[in-house]
Amino acid sequence: MQNEKVITVNKLTKKFGDFTAVDHISFDVFKGEIFGFLGANGAGKTTAMRMLCGLLFPSSGEATVAGYDVYKENEKIKKSIGYMSQKFSLYEDLTVKENMQFYGGIYHMTEKYIKEKTATILKQLHLEKEGNLLVKSLPLGWKQKLAFAVSIFHEPGIVFLDEPTGGVDPVTRREFWNMIYEASDRGTTIFVTTHYMDEAEYCNRVTIMVDGRIDALDTPSNLKKNYNASSMDEVFLILARKAVRAAD
Amino acid sequence: MKQFIAFIRKEFYHIWRDKRTMFILLGMPIVQIIIFGFALTNEVKNSKIAILDSSKDEATMSLSSELEASRYFELEKNLVTYDQVLEEFHKGKIKMAVIFPPSFSEDLQHFNKAQIQLIADAADPNTANQLVNYATAIIKDYQNRITNNRKLPYTIDTEFRMLYNPQLKGAFNFVPGVMAMVLLLVCTMMTAITIVKEKELGTMEIILVSPMRPQLVVFAKAIPYLLLSTINIASILLLSVFVLEVPINGSLFLLVFESILFILVSLSLGLLISARAESQQTAMFISLIALFLPTVMLSGFMFPIENMPLPLRIISNIIPAKWYYHIVKSVMIKGVGLSSIWKETIILGGMMTFFLTVAIKRFKIRLA
């Protein structure tokens, strides 16, 4: 898994006026990896991720996603990635099945594929009975798991998860991570931002962003060793205390 | 194409699930037509009057009964003293008082000249004017009849014809106005809100990350409202023709074509607003303040544009509803063809092209 690079980022920068949200970051992500993107609020995680998804235009630097250039080939990138945003991303006034039908539809999936895939997902999540319920009637934990399932509905090579477990209880978070592992085992590359440090431990490698820069990038165990810390929490605190930018 | 259909289907689910909004959208034109048609009318009908007849002769009696018999007036009270007149006005019971002096009949016979006093409640100037006019017409009519057997040295008779709307029905004016208002509300406001809603919910991000082309998103958002508006046009026209008896004198095809053109202008405006507004409230606010109010005020539907000061007359030209209102009135009431309204049609077409181009350009592929 350590050989094929699916995301390459070189000195990627995003400025909003005078404010440099993302400051010359560089890293590579390998196929099938769970790549954790950590940082305090306002450190620039979401901005960096949005540039890779084609939602934001970089100010400078280079980046490729699935082999495609973020400046020129973002239409091709869009076909190869899945995305789950910070905000809840399913339609509350549509049923579970209608949501899947919609997302399958806008990803050019065939009617047959959508049907089969919907059945498989509902079975996996033990939601067979809830398929025709409106999403708004489901508890938050289920919604988040569903949203993740929908983001990989079209079986993308890479999926970007922007703080996917915000506001979810520990048990559901654990289940959520099991789903991530399963997807990773199937060869999907996971790019995930979070500020739960226990989740950082689940990642293959993590970067820690401070003030728009990447201050550390390694496996969780190496990071702990290098910073002489007993947990990722401590590593994070050591790095985040250096931040001058106020969290928003 | 499959993407497109999936998207439109989703939009219909949204509309269908939000039953309250849907009923408002479909019910509003019906309610407006009914309210304008039966309650809010500026026609004068059965206005209450009082008569102070101090003469009580043959002439005053027959004049009184003619006033009473007309559909404009209804006798509220026969007064005895002059003081009562003011009293009745204070009570607000009457809109007009007719006063015959004690010497009415005598004056008429001996001096060939008699006077009747009409006092109208001009707190509402338009109604007062109309009432006085109607009463004067009835009195003139009577006078003509009694002078018929006598020769007057010179007479000038005015012969008038109310073209296109002989019964002077208010409906002829407000049906086109309501059409413009409803289409603007449904198309502009709802389209703007529906797009901004996705921005607010965060689902727009997901759509923009998907391979769906942004232009396609814009069109898919607009199409359900185009359909809803077509239903609205149909219900307004059916009600107008069969309930209010407003005829469609021109070509129905032309009327529908022009309406669809106006719908497209309104939809483009909605898209333009949605590109700017960040919250649903803002979208609604802009739609109401920047579009709805000027439409009501400056389209010529409520207040005649010709009477406005020059700056307002100039501004009224950029109000799409002004042109549409003119077109509907011309086609529906006057029954003219495209040759008489080609200028207005081109203006609407130009507005549509302009707004749509700007809207699509503004609807950015990337969020910033």
Read off the pLDDT of residues B119-156 as tens digits, 9 standing for 90 and up: 998 888 888 888 898 999 888 888 888 777 666 667 67
Q: What is the mean pLDDT of residues A202-226?
A: 90
Question: Which residues in chain A touch residue B6, judged by CB atoms under 8 angstroms apart?
Answer: 101-102, 104-106
**pLDDT-above-90 percentage for chain A:** 55
Question: Which residues in chain A touch residue B212, judged by CB atoms under 8 angstroms apart?
Answer: 106
Structure confidence at residue A153 as a pLDDT band (50, 70, 90): very high
* H or E segment to which residue A185 belongs: helix A170-185
The full set of domains in chain A, from first to last, is 5-240 (3.40.50.300)
Rounded CA gap, A203 and A220, in Å? 7
Q: Which residue has the higher pLDDT, B362 or A143?
A: A143
pLDDT (tens digit, 9 = 90+) per residue, A84-142?
A: 988 878 999 999 999 999 999 999 999 999 999 999 999 988 888 999 999 999 988 88
Structure confidence at residue B356 as a pLDDT band (50, 70, 90): confident
Last residue of a domain, one of B77, B112, B147: B147
Is it the case that residue A60 has pLDDT exceeding 70? Answer: yes
Domain with B109 in it: what CATH number? 3.40.1710.10
Asked if residue B321 and residue B346 are part of one domain, the reply reads: yes
Q: Is residue B162 part of a domain?
A: no
Beta-carbon contacts of residue B342 (< 8 Å; ≥ 6 apart):
none
The two structure tokens encoding residue B157: 């008779």
Domain limits for position B110: 47-147
Give me the residue from A75, A93, A106 closest to B6, CB to CB: A106
Asked if residue B180 and residue B236 are part of one domain, the reply reads: yes
Structural domain total, chain B: 2
Structure confidence at residue A154 as a pLDDT band (50, 70, 90): very high
The predicted pLDDT at position A141 comes to 85
What residues of B are in the A interface, CB distance below 8 Å? Answer: 2-3, 5-7, 9-10, 13-14, 17-18, 201-203, 205-212, 365-368
Judged by CB atoms closer than 8 Å, whether chains meet at B210 and A106 is answered as yes
pLDDT (tens digit, 9 = 90+) per residue, B178-228?
A: 888 888 888 888 888 988 998 888 888 888 889 888 888 888 888 999 999
Is it the case that residue B307 has pLDDT exceeding 70? Answer: yes
**pLDDT-above-90 percentage for chain B:** 26
Alpha carbon of B367: minimum distance to chain A alpha carbons (Å)? 6
pLDDT (tens digit, 9 = 90+) per residue, B105-122?
A: 888 888 878 889 999 988
Q: What is the mean pLDDT of residues B322-327?
A: 93
Rg of the Cα atoms in chain B: 28
Residue A134 vs residues A102, A143, B274: alpha-carbon distances, Å = 14, 11, 27
Q: Is residue B62 part of a domain?
A: yes
The predicted pLDDT at position B127 comes to 83
Is it the case that residue A1 has pLDDT exceeding 50? Answer: no
Asked if residue B317 and residue B343 are part of one domain, the reply reads: yes
What residues of A are in the B interface, CB distance below 8 Å? Answer: 16, 50, 53-57, 74-75, 78-79, 81, 83-91, 93-94, 98, 101-108, 134, 151
Alpha carbon of B6: minimum distance to chain A alpha carbons (Å)? 5
The predicted pLDDT at position B149 comes to 61
Give me the residue from B203, B366, B367 closest to A89, CB to CB: B203
pLDDT (tens digit, 9 = 90+) per residue, B13-70?
A: 999 999 988 898 899 888 888 887 777 666 677 889 999 998 888 888 888 998 888 8
Judged by CB atoms closer than 8 Å, whether chains meet at B366 and A86 is answered as no
Asked if residue B141 and residue B284 are part of one domain, the reply reads: no
Q: Is residue B152 part of a domain?
A: no
Judged by CB atoms closer than 8 Å, whether chains meet at B6 and A105 is answered as yes
Closest CA to A64 of A50, A74, A79: A74
Judged by CB atoms closer than 8 Å, whether chains meet at B209 and A106 is answered as no
Judged by CB atoms closer than 8 Å, whether chains meet at B6 and A101 is answered as yes
Question: Which residues in chain A touch residue B218, judged by CB atoms under 8 angstroms apart?
Answer: none
The two structure tokens encoding residue B6: 């999936």
Q: What is the mean pLDDT of residues B252-258?
A: 94
Asked if residue B353 and residue B245 are part of one domain, the reply reads: yes
Asked if residue B231 and residue B142 are part of one domain, the reply reads: no
The contacts found for A231-237 with CB under 8 angstroms, 24 or more apart, are: A231/A197, A231/A201, A232/A197, A232/A198, A232/A200, A232/A201, A232/A206, A233/A197, A235/A208, A236/A38, A236/A197, A236/A200, A236/A208
Asked if residue B176 and residue B135 are part of one domain, the reply reads: no
The predicted pLDDT at position B40 comes to 64
pLDDT (tens digit, 9 = 90+) per residue, B60-116?
A: 888 899 888 888 898 888 888 888 888 888 988 889 999 998 888 888 888 878 889
Identify whether the C-beta of residue B173 lies closer than 8 Å to the C-beta of residue B33: no
Alpha carbon of A151: minimum distance to chain B alpha carbons (Å)? 9
Q: Which residue has the higher pLDDT, B257 or B218?
A: B257
Residue of A nearest to B212 (CA): A106
Tell me how far apart the 2 most distant CA atoms of chain B are, in Å. 96
Alpha carbon of B363: minimum distance to chain A alpha carbons (Å)? 13
Q: What ipTM goes with this model? A: 0.85
Residue of B nearest to A94 (CA): B13
Asked if residue B125 and residue B175 are part of one domain, the reply reads: no
The two structure tokens encoding residue B145: 């009849």
Alpha carbon of B232: minimum distance to chain A alpha carbons (Å)? 25
Q: Is residue B126 part of a domain?
A: yes
Judged by CB atoms closer than 8 Å, whether chains meet at B368 and A56 is answered as yes
